[in-house]
Homo-oligomer: A and B are copies of this chain.
């Protein structure tokens, strides 16, 4: 198991949270995705190490961006 955390910018409502959760949750090996709307913090538990660019791409696919 591996845990990744990223901060996502641009989420404003529960729909945004759902979009991010669905896209990131669709990455291979991802078990759970927790999203804190107020902070933008996204916590991802996965079976193995995730490629940070794969996370960024999934977040972008949802219409948002990873900070930093």
Which residues in A have some Cβ–Cβ distance to B below 8 Å? 12-13, 15-16, 19
What's the least CB distance linking A12 to chain B, in Å?
A: 4
CA distance A12 to B11 in the complex (A): 9
State the oligomeric state as a number of copies. 2
Give the distance in Å from the alpha carbon of A19 to the alpha carbon of B13 in the complex: 12
Query: Which B residues touch A13, using CB under 8 A?
Result: 12-13, 15-16
Main secondary structure of the interface of A (DSSP, over half): helix
Q: Which residues of B contact A16 (CB under 8 A)?
A: 13, 15
Taking CB as reference atom, which chain B residue is nearest A18? B15
| Measured CA separation A13–B19 after assembly (Å) | 12
* Smallest CB separation, A57 vs chain B (Å): 20
